[in-house]
Every structure is written in C-alpha cells, then in structure tokens.
Amino acid sequence: MGMVKVLLNGKEVEALEGETILNLARRYGIEIPTLCYYEGFANGSCRICIVEVNGRLIPSCITKVSEGMKIETESTRVTEARKTLLKLLLKNHTHRSKEEQMRCRICEYAVKYGLEPAPIIPSVKVDDTHPAILFNPSACVMCRKCVIACGIDQNNDVIAVIGRGSGTRVGFDLDTPPMGMSSCVSCGACVDACPTGGVNGKGLGTR
C-alpha cells in the first residue's frame, strides 16, 4: 500500500493511500466524534465527524486522504459547526432515564462542547413489547446503524427505515407489528451499534 503526505493539525504525517481521514486521525491518537460511522460501511449521514480540509468542511469518515491535504480536526470552524449540528440534534432528543442518557453519545458530545444534554422525561413513549430490547424513538437520531447491524452484519433484516421526509423513522418488519411481535431473533447487534440509546437492552445491562 502506498503512502501520501498530509498535514494533520499542522504536523506532517504519512497516511496510507485509500484510508479515510477518520482512520488516519485515529491512528495518530486524535479523537473525532462520530455517530453514524459503522466500520466497513459507508454511511456518512450524521456529519458530526466533519473536519476542515484545505478550508472546506467535509465528513472525515467517508473522505479518503490525498497528497497535500491540510487537515484540521479541531479548528474554530469545525467546533462551531459541530456545535450547531448538536443543537439541531438535541431539539428532538429525549431520554427516559439518566442511565439511558449516560449511554448517549450526543449527550456526551453536548457536554464536551458546552451544551446541555437532552432532557430526561420518564413518561416518554417507548416500545417495550420485546422481552429483551426496548425502543425509545425519541432518543433515535436516524443514524441507521441498527439497520446496518441487523441487515448487513446479521442478515436478519428486521429493522428498516420507514417513511419519507420528516416522517422518516426506524421500524420493525416494515412497521406492521411492534418490536415484540416482529421476527427479531434477539441477537442484540442493534443494541451494540446504537450510539444514543434508541435501542437498548432492557435493564440497560446487556451491552
């Protein structure tokens, strides 16, 4: 595999040809926030992983390195853009318990970027019809990682994206039954993949 030279936060480093900026940063111990990133699968929908490359803001998880790139992972523009994105995500984001909130990466990043985490509303409407897994739609940010984990990793295809536009949401078996009556085999891959606590092990202890 060839190498390319890039500037990473002002330091010249060697990158592997074909690797993503996120991968490069991680190899050099630089943390970049991610929500929808799923290893080995180009998702690229949340944009929280943006970095500045030669003056442009681009998502690091789906952008490959190229010779001469000047990459800034924490510039003021990057930080401000991430904050704006988090504020938008937090607008429709609620947790049912402190435990669920503590597992949520959006809330973790919110605190890191000086914002309030999402509110805790115990009465929020959830789907608790499944014996082992609970679905809280108000904690879901439609990152689609559970869909990838269920369909592509496990070949189960129980979870799907349903609807269009602002009505888009996650559903089970094309939305006919609630989760407990679906063909879910309780593999738990969605729980492992979910960055927010949208799908959670019941009792929060199974991950």
**Helix 105-112 vs helix 76-91: angle between axes, to the nearest 10 degrees?**
130
Residue count of the chain, please give it: 207
Residue with tokens 């943390």: 31
Count of beta carbons in the 10 Å neighbourhood of residue 174 = 11
User: Is 48 one of the binding residues for ligand FES (CB under 6 A)?
Assistant: yes
Say how far apart CA 47 and CA 62 lie, in whole Å: 10
Q: How far is the CB of 24 from ligand FES (least distance, A)?
A: 14
Residue placing its CB nearer to ligand FES in the complex, 73 or 182: 73
Contact map string, positions 110 to 149, toward ligand SF4, x by CB under 6 A: ------------------------------xxxxxxx---
| Gyration radius (Cα) of the chain, Å | 18
User: Is 37 one of the binding residues for ligand FES (CB under 6 A)?
Assistant: yes
User: Is 85 one of the binding residues for ligand FES (CB under 6 A)?
Assistant: no
Count of beta carbons in the 10 Å neighbourhood of residue 152 = 14
Residue placing its CB nearer to ligand FES in the complex, 43 or 101: 43
User: Is 61 one of the binding residues for ligand FES (CB under 6 A)?
Assistant: yes
Applying CB under 6 A, the span of 34-42, 71-79, 93-101, 174-182 interacting with ligand FES comes to: 34-42
Count of beta carbons in the 10 Å neighbourhood of residue 86 = 22
- Footprint of ligand SF4 (CB under 6 A): 140-146, 170, 193-194, 196, 198-199
